[in-house]
Structure 1
Amino acid sequence: MSDGNSKSDDLSSEFFQQMVEAVGVGVGIYGQDGRYIYVNDSYAELFSATPADLVGVAIWEVAPEVDPDTFDAYWNSFADGDTRQAETVHEYSGNRVPVATVTTQRTIDGVPYHFGTIKDITERKAQEREIQQQNERLENFAGLVSHDLRNPLNVAQGYVDMLQADIDRDELTLVDNALERMDSLVSELLQLARTNTPVGETDPVSLFDTVTKAWDSVATIDADLRLAGSDTQILADESRLRELFENLFRNAIEHAGADVEVTVEAQSDGFSVADDGPGIPPEERDRVFETGFTTNPDGTGFGLNIVQQIVTGHDWEIQVTESISGGARFVITGVKMVD
């Protein structure tokens, strides 16, 4: 084939028509010998080349991840109609291009071909790298700020503890409370910064084990935890899931009081966290996940925003409703269960 826009003698009109329908998308077709027999302009232009330059070139000369020594095994691993997707890098004539590929094996007139569509994803990959770098810089900055703020806070807290041991003054209690609030703000600011990082690998985790660990890490001396339903294994980033529960538990204690009863219930497509506090008015339920929104003068307004970001990172959904006792109930759905 000398012209990427013309029909090869090896291709039937039916197969060629399928190529024509892929206008605007890079297209490459190769046979059982691994060499391109058809390339369209969109694909060739990725390398500042012409279709004629690429016709006859072996797939492994363009796609380095294809090993010529194992190409036969790769070819034979396809059944007719099989389709596979991949993100890789294609190279030709000194040009390297990140691409998303979709490869399908089709047999026309008894002859098998691999029909591939190739999309340039250079811009998306650059954006992903930029976001990753921004997240790393943000986390490093947050860690530095946290460290630099906590050092003087710890010194001040130490002196207040010493004074309280010798002096009974209401003013010292006010200072102590202010220092605790500052420490809470530092912790939640750092946590909020880290929620911009993607959710990590998801693995099967015990819902109730994670709930118990989160409960034990929060100041819940006078509060009660009740588990409802049957424990189940869910697919989640365990560290971030625990972080989600910790923030919901702190929210319950902050708004319902230290003696709140919290119920975590396993459901068929997720779980819920409910309390027996005053609840959240319907007109405020759409705003509770906004950064900085709080109805508690001592609250930071970060906790529920962190919860929402963790939920979104898992591709779950969260809804605020009312518990049986009239308190707040957070329902998380779209969770993948492990059989």
Structure 2
Amino acid sequence: MTAETLTEEHDIEAVAVNGGDAALDAMADNHFDCIVSDYEMPGMNGLELLATVRESNPTLPFILLTGRGDEETASEAIAAGVADYLLKLEVVEDKQYGRLANRIESVVEQERTRKKFESLVENSPDGIAQVTGDGVLLSVNPVMADRLGAPADELVGERLTDVMDTEAARRRIAAVRSALDSGTTEKREDAIDGRHYQTQFVPVESHLDGHTVQLVSRDVTDRVERERELKRQNERLEEFASVVSHDLRNPLNVAQSAIELLDIPDESDDLVAKVERSLDRMSEIIEDVLTLAREGRTVDDPEAVSIETLATDAWAWVETGESALVVEDDVEIVADATRVQDLFANLFRNAVEHNDAPVTVEVGVGDDGFYVADDGMGVDGDADVFEMGHSSTNEGTGIGLAIVSQVAQAHGWSVGLTESADGGARFDVRGVETTA
């Protein structure tokens, strides 16, 4: 009657059999998500059936539905690991089958969730282990077992101090205890045998050992090495900028001062003018190279900034003549404001200086970032405009768009050139993080 009611009224496909042996036979031929068993049955009682089932399926949900409501039976059932303990008087005789149906759905869903979690742990690229407060391993996934150099089943029951570097194990056990004491997730980074790991220690309740910690350890060696390489690159750029600033600017200043002090005949004015123009040209190149070196450093401390504000401020830096700026729309991006202003300024300067007539420059929000477009003559699409030294005018240093590229790379962005809707140049900056 119970099986029929669950099937007809609660959309649970239930099969009824008489006795433990019949239940085992049915399980041999079919898949079941849950067992609901009486306690007193022919051949074996409910807890004996549970013990037999656990030999082949240690996690199959098992609900005991019994007429024996004594404390001894309830205590024995809970100790044996039943998922729930319900009385026939409350379910069958009072016809509260909905209560039983809810408990079946609940324990089945819990079991499915547990299996999904175990699958994620098993297939995770991170090393995962469950650890007691004393540093005893209760379980490890394949990645963690591989790191510790032993099969997972051999590691269960071992102490961290016995299976890994002692100092590293002590650091991790200290983090485990800290997480258990605070009841919150602890995060640590450490190095073991030349590899760098970022580890989270998550307090969890375990049926195996009460309060334990889920240790999730990610190998971040590649990230650490990239950061070190970026730091070395930044140091080289700083050194380069220092050399340019000191070893080139100083003799240039001496030459400029000497020209001013020389008593030069009037007939040599044209020659002096050529020298002064060359010195000014050298000064511009040095300034651009210094900017390029500065912009190549990786962005360490970005902030939320408005592209409308950045573009408007940068436009004010550039000699734009009769050209006009239009900001179509705005968005807050996460960036280094000073460097992005340099990016805008170089794009604006490129638009103004590479067109004979005044242009209208448009700034707006594009796919995955923002864009700067103009209605000028456009740029040769076959040329690598971001290459150092590329310039389509005799006055250009060929560094402006290289600076644009450097600023984008320092933020982890990309920049590309296409034709604008008006036939001019359009620069799209993509991969930009926004606050929206």
TM-score band, normalised by the shorter chain? Answer: 0.7 to 0.9
The verdict on how the C-alpha distance between 1:71 and 1:21 changes in structure 2, with shifts beyond 3 A counting, is closer
C-alpha distance in structure 2 between counterparts of 1:36 and 1:214, whole Å: 60
Distance 1:96 1:283 in 2: 46
Structure 1 residue 233: deviation in Å?
2.7
Q: What secondary structure is seen at the aligned counterpart in 2 of 1:319? A: strand
CA shift for structure 1 position 19:
9.3
Residue 29 of structure 1: aligned partner: 130
SS of 1:289's partner is coil
Matched residue of 2:393: which SS? coil
Q: Is the 8 A contact 1:106 1:113 kept in 2?
A: yes
Contact 2:415-2:427 within 8 A present in 1 as well: yes
For 1:216 and 1:65, locate their aligned partners in 2 and report how far apart those are by CA, in whole Å.
56
Aligned residue for 1:312, secondary structure, equals helix
Where does residue 435 of structure 2 map in the other structure?
338
| 1:42 has 2:146 as partner | yes
Deviation at 1:129, TM superposition (A): 1.9
Instruction: Give the Cα–Cα distance (whole angstroms) in 2 for the partners of residues 270 and 131 of structure 1.
Output: 24
**What CA deviation, in whole Å up to 9, does each residue of 1:11-48 have, x standing for no partner?**
x78889759935986442224x36332455434359xx
Tell me if 1:72 matches 2:169: no
What are the equivalent positions in structure 2 for 1:119-158 lying under 5 Å apart? Answer: 119-122=218-221, 124-158=223-257
Find the residue that maps to 1:21 and give its secondary structure. helix
CA distance change for structure 1 residues 308 and 65 in 2, over 3 Å: closer, same or farther?
farther
What SS does the aligned partner of 1:66 have? helix
Give the Å deviation of 1:226. 1.4
1:5 matched to which residue of 2? Answer: none
CA distance in 1, matches of 2:119, 2:404: 47
Look up the equivalent residue of 2:397 and give its one-letter code: T
CA gap 1:20/1:311 in 2 versus in 1, 3 angstroms: closer
Contact 2:180 / 2:203 at 8 angstroms: preserved in 1?
A: no
Aligned residues: 309
**What's the % identity of the aligned pairs?**
32
Distance 1:72 1:333, change over 3 A: same
- How many angstroms does 1:255 deviate by? 1.6
Pick from 55, 77, 88: which aligns with 2:189?
A: 88
- Distance in 1 of aligned mates of 2:219 and 2:129: 13
Name the counterpart of 1:62. 171
- Give the gaps of 5 or more residues in structure 2: 1-57, 60-113
Question: What is aligned with 2:38?
Answer: none
8 A Cα contact 1:202 1:237, kept in partner: yes
Residue of structure 1 in register with 2:275 after alignment: 175
Other-structure match for 1:300: 397
Query: Aligned in 2, Cα 1:36/1:77: closer, same or farther, shift over 3 Å?
Result: same
The answer for the alignment partner of 2:43 in structure 1 is: none
For CA contacts below 8 A with separation 6 or more, give which structure has more relative contact order.
1
Structure 1: runs of 5 or more not aligned: 1-11, 79-83
Q: Hey, what's the Cα distance between the residues in 2 that align with 1:69 and 1:101?
A: 13
Give the match for residue 322 of structure 1: 419
Cα–Cα, structure 1 residues 58 and 109, in superposed 2: closer, same or farther, change >3 Å? farther
**Cα distance change on mapping 1:264 and 1:338 into 2, 3 Å:** farther
Q: Cα distance, 1:242 vs. partner?
A: 0.9
Between Structure 1 and Structure 2, the one with more helix by share is: 2
Whether contact under 8 Å (1:36, 1:58) holds in the other structure is no
TM-score for the superposition, normalised by structure 1 = 0.72
* Alignment CA distance shift 1:294-1:104 (3 Å): farther
SS at 2:415 equivalent: strand
Q: For 1:338 and 1:26, how far apart are their aligned partners in 2? A: 33
| Secondary structure of 2:175 counterpart | coil
- Cα separation, 2, equivalents of 1:206 and 1:30: 47
Tell me which amino acid in the other structure corresponds to 1:193: A
Is residue 186 from structure 1 mapped to residue 286 from structure 2 by the alignment?
yes
Instruction: Please give the secondary structure, in 1, of the residue aligned with 2:285.
Output: helix
- Partner SS state of residue 363, structure 2: strand
1:233 equivalent in alignment to 2:332: yes
Distance change >3 Å, CA 184–CA 325, structure 1 → 2: same
Name the CA shift for 1:165/1:213 in 2 (closer, same or farther; >3 Å): farther
- What letter corresponds to residue 172 of structure 2 in structure 1? A
In our comparison, the structure showing a higher alpha carbon Rg is 2
Within the alignment, does 1:200 sit opposite 2:300 as a pair?
yes
2:364 alignment partner AA: A
TM-score (norm. length: structure 2): 0.58
**2:83 equivalent in structure 1:** none
Q: Distance in 1 between matches of 2:302 and 2:258?
A: 44
